[in-house]
Amino acid sequence: MCGRIVQYRSPEDYAAALRLSEPDPGLSLRPATFNGAPGQDFLIVRQEGEGNEPVLCISQWGFAPDIAGDRKMSARLATAHAETVVTEGSFCAAYRYRRCLVPVDSFYEWKKLGPMGKQPHAVGMEDGRPFTLAGLWENWRGPEGAWLRTFAIVTITSNKLLAGINDRMPLIIDPQDRARWLSDEGHPGDLLRQHPSEGMARWLVSPEVNSLRNNGPSLLAPMAAAG
């Protein structure tokens, strides 16, 4: 279902990989994260300005729709189902007008092991390059008048690579489809599709990922399967 993501590269690296303009220097102050969760700030790509140019900016993971009375609702809306995003009240307007991309280096999924708990897996691309998840963003104004930009990650049924771990995975937007996902097109429904397993990789990682107190490159180190 995508509950943790990895963004360890610099804004300049993501901008170069996604062929974006030079990012705001202030974004470089944002620390790298190897174990990012809802409630934290991340880099996203959204259209901005009169020319609707795609740019990197900071947004908080956990969608707060404009109807939300407080930020508590955002914790329950970290993800949005691709199957219902067109009609679901919390997300339909953002899907129509405020789609974004979430650049990541990998994400984590957990496989249930019965009484033994859960085993985390990292998921990324075989070539190690960053890739983009489909997102929806929203500006929310708090009771005191302060504005907060939030986002949710769109999920889809898992492909063969992940089906044995979790029944859902984040919706991945391929390079040739990024401009269209960010465009003003009302319903790019054919992009709401499962990403093929080919070109993707998954590997066992340490249970240290289970704790948000842990955040470092060692979390991505492959572990040998038991037995």
Residue 123, amino acid: V
Among 162, 78, 163, 79, residue whose Cα is nearest residue 123: 162
Q: What does the pLDDT look like over 147-182, one tens digit per residue?
A: 889 999 999 999 999 999 999 999 999 999 999 999
- Residue 56: is it exposed, middle or buried by C-beta count within 10 angstroms (0-12/13-18/19+)? buried
CA distance 31 to 141: 26
Mean pLDDT, consecutive 10-residue segments, the chain of 227 residues?
Answer: 91 96 91 95 91 92 74 74 94 96 97 84 97 95 79 97 94 97 96 96 96 96 73
pLDDT tens for 5-24 read 999 999 999 999 999 999 99
User: Going from the N-terminus, what domains does the chain have, and what CATH number goes with each?
Assistant: 4-110+127-196 (3.90.1680.10)
pLDDT at 155: 97
Sheet of 4-7: strand order equals: 33-36, 4-7, 106-112, 118-125, 200-204
Contacts of 208 by beta carbon, 8 Å cutoff, 6+ apart: 214, 218, 219
Tokens of 121: 């897996």
Between CA 83 and CA 70 the distance in angstroms is 27
pTM assigned to the model: 0.93
pLDDT at 227: 42
H helices present in 59-214, as ranges: 92-97, 178-182
Structure token digits, residue 96: 């129509």
The 10 Å Cβ neighbour count of residue 45 is 26
Rounded-to-integer distance, Cα 157 and Cα 159, Å: 7
Read off the tokens for 59. 């947004």
